């Protein structure tokens, strides 16, 4: 296989950088809540531990009772955990802790009761590690479980479609297991013409052999099977869909992911907490600010630090600007795919998007991969001219949105291509674990900014647009209204922007200002320690979801007390949302697949991670 080298990079082997004596952790809950109490009463001995951990409800359950617990949690009127939002896993082999090597971690969500429950299930040892599959209870578990199998090697007994999802079928290992090296290449620090490395450097020609095509399970050769992507203009990146057609009617769709799999999670586990912020930009590159925000908030929760008011407001301004920018990009490409006015709209929407990118550039110097936020605040204060430009943008934007709507909303072509296409009912979206505009287009009144506020969103007054039709047109309306609401939030954030620090003063996470380094030895030491070692995060685990432009962007961090995350998992909203494409497209026309993909609003960097 390509590219798998057992060598570690040199800085990781320098003495003193990986603190030994990591405490033996299995983040154990303490205390209890009504929900955990109810589960303990019902399942008794099958519950290994239950209670609150970092303010989140956690239940450890034996694998035998996992499915029963999920069924109970879903159907019990006092619990109503209707949806599964994420499945991840931890390989605990490097922890000096006893018990099962693998833990599967599930995040359940109750929309009705606004509750979140984390369920941890140790995998059965002996042969392949195995836990029972929850696919029978929640459809939304199907893809995340496949991902866990692919990357971590935990089997799911009774899974309806037990295949790899990201890596090619022939991949020799499960990359997230701790004994598998990061891979990559060792780059010589200095290179001269006489070095032997130079012989091959940059000149290797690697095998790029395709695998023979396989017909996905459930498809019949009787019909026509075509391949859409990974090089296709309207799959918004490198998504491959294998489509079974009867005439022009879609019988079956099988998405093939992983063409942009970049190993974010594995990389994250080998970077210090502070260094991973820049990687989050590159995941959902259309909403880099939201990704920054989600990651920083999660780590801050584990660290237990509160950030200054000004930083919080600045973060909200940036995240909402990013939402508008992302929706603008979605709108222009979606229109380009399905409607005749597309090219014009692409040009108009890009014009406004460029203005937002200019604002980002003023604040942090980059347009796309911003890296603006830091754990504990933002990297720098906004320049004085920023607010003036922002005001100007806020004045212009509502008129622009109306302009776009006048081009599209009642256009016969637009309505024809969107109305009634990709219909999903309320129960379906919940069961499939979809989030964001997919939920709100199908009548679920849920927005994490309002219902599980973070970063001070409870202080803002905004509406959450909800439509009940469940078709692509409803999702279009949701996103258009979201842009307007984002502008409202930004308005309020500017009006209440206080003066003060833009980053916590805690020297453990924030380097001292440059001027201090010249006069204070202590500052110098802090700076040195922070730059060489990073900061340590107390042991524990935390899942935090934020409302990014595409849906719930979740980060799951499992810390062993060192300066690097022991396990870092990202719940990409596009990944879970994309699962719906098969359901939406079955029985529709081939051309509707394009509408459906556009209407889900995917970014492949986040789908594949």
Partner 1 sequence: MGLEEKLPEGIITTQLETLVNWSRENSTWPLLFGLACCAIEMIATGSSRHDISRYGSELFRASPRQADLMIVSGRVSNKMAPVIKRLYDQMSEPKWVIAMGICASAGGPFNNYAIVQGVDKIIPVDVYVPGCPPRPEGLLYAMDKLRAKQGKDNFRTYANLNASPAPATPEDIESLETLRQPQRA
CB 574 within 8 A of CB 590: no
* Residue number, 239 or 480, with CB nearest to ligand SF4: 239
For residues 368 to 387, the per-residue mask of contacts with ligand SF4, x marking binding by CB under 6 A and - elsewhere, is -x------------------
Residue with tokens 């409800």: 57
- By CB atoms closer than 10 A (0-12, 13-18, 19+), residue 280 is buried
* Residue number, 135 or 277, with CB nearest to partner 1: 277
Residue 367 in the binding site for ligand SF4 (CB under 6 A)? no
Count residues near partner 1 (CB under 8 A): 59
Strand-pair partners of 282: none
Question: Residue 221 binds which one of partner 1, ligand SF4, none, with CB within 5 to 8 A depending on kind?
Answer: none
CB 467 within 8 A of CB 477: yes
Question: Residue 525 binds which one of partner 1, ligand SF4, none, with CB within 5 to 8 A depending on kind?
Answer: none
| Rg, the chain, Cα only | 24
403 contact partners, CB below 8 Å, separation of at least 6? 348
Residue 492 in the binding site for ligand SF4 (CB under 6 A)? no
Work out how close the CB of 283 gets to ligand SF4 at its nearest, in angstroms, rounded to a whole number. Answer: 10
Work out how close the CB of 504 gets to partner 1 at its nearest, in angstroms, rounded to a whole number. Answer: 26
Question: Residue 100 binds which one of partner 1, ligand SF4, none, with CB within 5 to 8 A depending on kind?
Answer: none
Residues 42, 101, 163, 230: which binds partner 1 (CB under 8 A)? 230
**C-alpha to C-alpha distances, 465 to 70, 197, 292, 582, nearest whole angstrom:** 30, 58, 25, 26
Work out how close the CB of 245 gets to partner 1 at its nearest, in angstroms, rounded to a whole number. Answer: 20
Residue 173 in the binding site for ligand SF4 (CB under 6 A)? no
In 3D space, the residue among 9, 258, 176 whose CA is nearest the CA of residue 558 turns out to be 176
Residues 33, 110, 115, 262: which binds partner 1 (CB under 8 A)? 262
Residue 282 in the binding site for partner 1 (CB under 8 A)? yes
**C-alpha to C-alpha distances, 150 to 166, 389, 503, 512, 556, nearest whole angstrom:** 7, 47, 39, 43, 18
Task: State the DSSP H helix or E strand holding residue 38, giving kind and residue range, or none if neither.
Answer: helix 34-43
Residues 202, 384, 412, 498: which binds partner 1 (CB under 8 A)? 202
In 3D space, the residue among 171, 80, 154, 168 whose CA is nearest the CA of residue 120 turns out to be 154
Residue 459 in the binding site for ligand SF4 (CB under 6 A)? no
Question: Residue 390 binds which one of partner 1, ligand SF4, none, with CB within 5 to 8 A depending on kind?
Answer: none
Residue 260 in the binding site for partner 1 (CB under 8 A)? yes
Q: Residue 459: count other Cβ atoms within 10 Å of its Cβ.
A: 15
Question: Residue 604 binds which one of partner 1, ligand SF4, none, with CB within 5 to 8 A depending on kind?
Answer: partner 1
CB 361 within 8 A of CB 367: yes
- Tally of helices (H runs) and strands (E runs) in the chain: 21, 15
Strand-pair partners of 241: 228, 255
Question: Residue 494 binds which one of ligand SF4, partner 1, none, with CB within 5 to 8 A depending on kind?
Answer: none
**C-alpha to C-alpha distances, 468 to 192, 326, 331, 517, 573, nearest whole angstrom:** 65, 23, 20, 58, 21
Handedness of CA 439, 444, 447, 452 (dihedral sign): negative
Count residues near ligand SF4 (CB under 6 A): 2
Which segment (97-105, 255-263, 467-475, 563-571) binds partner 1 by CB under 8 A?
255-263
Query: Which of the 8 DSSP states describes residue 542?
Result: E
Question: Residue 377 binds which one of partner 1, ligand SF4, none, with CB within 5 to 8 A depending on kind?
Answer: none
Residue 426 in the binding site for ligand SF4 (CB under 6 A)? no
**C-alpha to C-alpha distances, 356 to 99, 347, 388, 395, 457, nearest whole angstrom:** 51, 15, 13, 13, 21
Determine if the peptide bond prior to 511 is cis (ω within 30°): no
Which segment (96-104, 256-264, 386-394, 413-421) binds partner 1 by CB under 8 A?
256-264
For residues 123 to 162, the per-residue mask of contacts with partner 1, x marking binding by CB under 8 A and - elsewhere, is ----------------------------------------
- Label each residue of 233-270 as H, E or C: CCCCECCEEEEEEECCEEEEEEEECCCCCCCHHHHHHC
Residues 101, 162, 282, 426: which binds ligand SF4 (CB under 6 A)? 282
Residue 346 in the binding site for partner 1 (CB under 8 A)? yes
Residue 354 in the binding site for partner 1 (CB under 8 A)? yes
Q: Which residues bind partner 1 (CB under 8 A)?
A: 1-4, 9, 166-168, 175, 180-185, 187, 202, 204-210, 230-233, 237-238, 258-263, 266-267, 278-279, 281-282, 285-286, 329, 346-348, 350-351, 353-354, 357, 367-369, 604-605, 608
Q: Which residues bind ligand SF4 (CB under 6 A)?
A: 282, 369
């Amino acid at each position: 296989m390509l590219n798998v080298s057992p060598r570690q990079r040199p800085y990781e082997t320098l003495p003193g950088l990986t603190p030994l004596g990591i405490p033996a952790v299995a983040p154990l809950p303490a205390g209890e809540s009504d929900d955990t109490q109810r589960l303990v009463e019902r399942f008794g001995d099958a519950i290994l531990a239950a209670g609150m951990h970092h303010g989140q409800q956690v239940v450890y359950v034996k694998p035998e009772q996992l499915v029963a617990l999920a069924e109970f949690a879903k159907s019990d009127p006092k619990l109503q955990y209707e949806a599964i939002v994420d499945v991840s896993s931890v390989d605990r082999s490097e922890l000096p802790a006893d018990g099962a090597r693998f833990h599967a971690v599930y995040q359940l969500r109750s929309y009705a009761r606004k509750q979140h429950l984390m369920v941890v299930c140790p995998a059965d040892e002996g042969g392949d590690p195995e836990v029972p599959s929850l696919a029978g209870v929640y459809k939304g578990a199907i893809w995340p479980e496949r991902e866990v199998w692919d990357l971590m090697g935990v089997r799911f007994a009774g899974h309806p479609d037990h295949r790899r999802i990201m890596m090619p079928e022939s991949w020799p290992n499960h990359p997230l297991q701790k004994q598998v090296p990061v891979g990559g290449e060792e780059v010589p620090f200095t290179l001269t013409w006489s070095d032997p490395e130079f012989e091959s450097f940059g000149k290797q020609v690697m095998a790029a052999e395709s695998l023979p095509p396989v017909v996905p399970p459930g498809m019949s050769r009787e019909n026509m099977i075509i391949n859409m992507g990974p090089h296709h203009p309207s799959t918004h990146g490198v998504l491959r869909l294998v489509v079974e057609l009867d005439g022009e009617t879609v019988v079956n769709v099988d998405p093939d992911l992983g063409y942009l799999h970049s190993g974010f999670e594995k990389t994250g586990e080998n970077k210090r907490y502070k260094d991973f912020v820049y990687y989050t930009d590159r995941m959902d590159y259309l909403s880099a600010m939201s990704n920054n925000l989600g990651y920083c908030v999660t780590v801050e929760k584990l660290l237990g630090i509160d950030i200054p008011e000004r930083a919080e407001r600045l973060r909200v301004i940036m995240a909402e600007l990013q939402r508008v920018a992302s929706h603008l990009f979605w709108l222009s490409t979606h229109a380009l795919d399905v409607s005749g006015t597309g090219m014009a709209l692409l040009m108009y929407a890009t014009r406004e998007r460029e203005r937002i990118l200019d604002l980002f550039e003023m604040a942090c110097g980059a347009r796309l991969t911003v890296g603006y936020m830091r754990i504990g605040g933002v990297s720098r204060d906004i320049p004085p001219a920023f607010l003036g430009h922002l005001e100007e943008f806020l004045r212009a934007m509502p008129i622009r949105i109306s302009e776009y709507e006048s081009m599209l909303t009642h256009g016969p072509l637009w309505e024809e291509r969107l109305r009634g296409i990709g219909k999903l009912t309320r129960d379906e979206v919940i069961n499939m674990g979809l989030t964001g505009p997919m939920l709100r287009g199908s009548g679920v009144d849920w927005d994490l900014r309002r219902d599980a506020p973070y970063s001070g969103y409870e202080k803002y007054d905004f509406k959450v647009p909800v439509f009940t039709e469940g078709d692509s047109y409803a999702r279009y309306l949701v996103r258009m209204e979201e842009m307007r609401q984002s502008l409202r939030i930004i308005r309020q954030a500017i009006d209440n922007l206080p003066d003060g620090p833009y980053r916590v003063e805690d020297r453990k996470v924030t380097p001292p200002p440059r001027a201090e380094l010249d006069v204070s030895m202590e500052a110098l030491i802090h700076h040195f320690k922070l730059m060489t070692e990073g900061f340590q995060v107390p042991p524990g685990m935390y899942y935090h979801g934020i409302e990014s432009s595409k849906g719930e962007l979740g980060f799951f961090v499992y810390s062993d007390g060192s300066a690097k995350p022991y396990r870092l998992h990202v719940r990409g909203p596009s990944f879970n949302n994309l699962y719906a494409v098969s359901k939406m497209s079955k029985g529709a026309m081939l051309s509707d697949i394009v509408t459906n993909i556009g209407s889900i609003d995917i970014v492949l960097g986040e789908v594949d991670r």
